[in-house]
Structure 1
Amino acid sequence: MSTYMLEGKVALVTGGSRGLGRAIAERLARDGAVVAVAFARHKAAANEVIERIRKDGGRAFTIQTELGRHGDAAALWAAFDAQIGQHSPHEGVDIIVNNAGIGLSSDLASLTEEGFDEVFAVNVRAPFFIVREALKRLRDGGRIINISSGVARLAMPEMIAYGSTKGALDTFTLNLAKELGPRGITANSVHPGIVDTDVNAGWLRGNAEAEAYAASLAALGRVGRPEDIADVAAFLASDDARWVTGRVIDATGGARL
């Protein structure tokens, strides 16, 4: 692949300050895209991502927006519009990566209405309206990449609401592919499995038993790394993936085959 296969493209990555979002933002920038790193709370981490990208010769800027509230998508794009002219000669966006999300470990009996509303607001409603608000900015031939989860294809009652949000995100992807296909815009979902990120650090890192268990779930015999997912996202963002749309890309390492 060309180092600058995304030269001239503009990408937005939500949840870009840490974990998978950070790895995806850095990879897209290495491939030549101008990257808008959207984040909610971790400003220092987001600034560190920008510094790393710029140190490597890339171009990026931050957008701080709290997702999960009415009007969040409009606020995000207003902040994008206010800055994009400083970083790219092209107004608008080519690649949208809906990565931001929150987890919820709760079974049906213990799930609260508040918890249900929050996880659906961040994981489903926010991506839905981020894309809707983007339609007048998203250029023909663009890419929509929704970071879903392997739990969308697995029965995990202890994460019933979270898994349901990812199933909804996959259905959203399917419909986007059909609706936006005439414009040459592709839409795909990515299913990560267990990945060594900050979100999983508390129970995974430094715990040999937990690491061995997580690795045993994957056919490839190890825990996922952020770059494993970032590389899949980079493929989907590239012209190499121009004929792939409406698909779920399993990036679990073959979990529970």
Structure 2
Amino acid sequence: MAVNTKIALVTGGSRGLGKNMAIAIAKKGIDVIITYNSKKEEADLVVKEIESLGQKAAALQLNVAESKNFDTFFEGISSTLKNTFKTDKFDFLINNAGIGIHKPFVETTEEEFDQLTNIQFKGPFFLTQKALRIMNDGGGIVNISTGLARFSFPGYAAYGSMKGAMEILTKYQAKELGARKIRANIVAPGAIETDFSGGVVRDNEQMNQQIASVTALGRVGLPDDIGGVVAFLCSEEASWINAQRIEVSGGMML
């Protein structure tokens, strides 16, 4: 008897942590839909890599800052599910897409604040709300936070605050969606070497060394440190993990 393959939707899956998550999820035997904002070529390469692992994959364009377009986006998802995956629902939503703005509290503009709100909180809030219409019962939501919601580094007041809001939202999602057996958890990476926020952790040697010095395991994080944790939360082994904040930081700022 054929086993119904589960499907995960990963926002911002064309590069960085999202790409790593998407590939790690595929390695668990789960089909994957990724979204990209502008990097279609990169997204197509991720799709090919997932297909090379023996899983089905697709990529759709999405700007999570523009919630007015979410209905149209999910029309595209429904069409993709039908045509590529031969089904009408998916199982896991990973709210990964995001940007970072590194600005002191006193210099953060209202425009920057609104941009972060739309991408980091309002976007995932309403994207998840609309996704629930075509999510299977018994599936899961994985939100993404940051170590900066637990400890503070100057320059991340707005960003850290939005992620703090996502952490509270995750608990409410877990409680209110429990009747549908949909789990909600949030993964909080520490500082990771990617092109995020202009590659500040990856490319700034002084910052890299500073972070390593306050991390118990003595180094900065890499994308490979994160993707597998998100993939685990989409597995049967994690079926009793719910409403949890899981920090993946190597023991930063203990």
| TM-score under structure 2 length normalisation | 0.94
Q: 2:48, 2:96 → 1: CA distance?
A: 20
Contact 2:191–2:201 (CA<8 Å) still a contact in 1? no
CA RMSD of aligned residues (A): 1.7
Is the alpha carbon distance of 1:206 and 1:108 closer, same or farther for their aligned partners in structure 2, counting shifts above 3 Å? Answer: closer
Distance 1:201 1:159 in 2: 14
Pair 218,72 (structure 1): closer, same or farther in 2 beyond 3 Å? farther
Q: Which moved more, 1:47-56 or 1:205-214?
A: 205-214
Give the Å deviation of 1:61. Answer: 0.4
Which structure 2 residues correspond to residues 1-257 of structure 1 after superposition, within 5 A? Answer: 8-199=5-196, 202-205=199-202, 208-257=205-254
| Distance of 1:227 and 1:62 partners within structure 2 | 21
- Check whether the contact 2:28–2:235 (CA below 8 A) recurs between aligned residues: no
Mapped partners of 1:200, 1:133: distance in 2: 28
For residues 53-73 of structure 1, give each alpha carbon's deviation from its aligned partner in whole angstroms, at most 9, with x where no partner exists.
Answer: 112222110010122123132
Q: Deviations over 1:108-149 (max 9, x none)?
A: 221111111000000101111111101111111101000111
Instruction: Specify whether residues 186 and 57 from structure 1 end up closer, same or farther in structure 2 by C-alpha distance, changes over 3 A only.
Output: same
What are structure 1's unaligned runs of at least 5 residues? 1-5
1:171 alignment partner AA: I
Determine the C-alpha separation between the residues in 2 that align with 1:137 and 1:20.
25
Cα shift at 1:15: 0.5
Q: Is the deviation greater in 70-79 or in 80-89? A: 70-79
CA contact (8 A) 1:73 1:126 kept: no
TM superposition shift of 1:217: 2.4
User: SS at the partner of 2:67?
Assistant: coil
CA separation of 1:111/1:24 partners in 2, compared to 1, >3 Å: closer, same or farther? same
CA distance in 1, matches of 2:85, 2:135: 14
TM-score by length of 1: 0.93
Is the contact made by 2:67 and 2:126 (CA closer than 8 Å) also made in structure 1? no
- Cα distance change on mapping 1:172 and 1:57 into 2, 3 Å: same
Does the CA contact (< 8 Å) of 1:50 and 1:60 recur in 2? yes
SS in structure 2 of the partner of residue 155 of structure 1:
coil
Q: What is the identity, as a one-letter code, of the residue corresponding to 2:123?
A: A
Secondary structure (helix, strand or coil) at the match of 1:136 reads helix
Instruction: Quote the offset at 1:208 in angstroms.
Output: 4.5
Structure 1 residue 183: deviation in Å?
Answer: 1.4
Distance 1:111 1:232, change over 3 A: same
Structure 2 residue aligned with 1:3: none
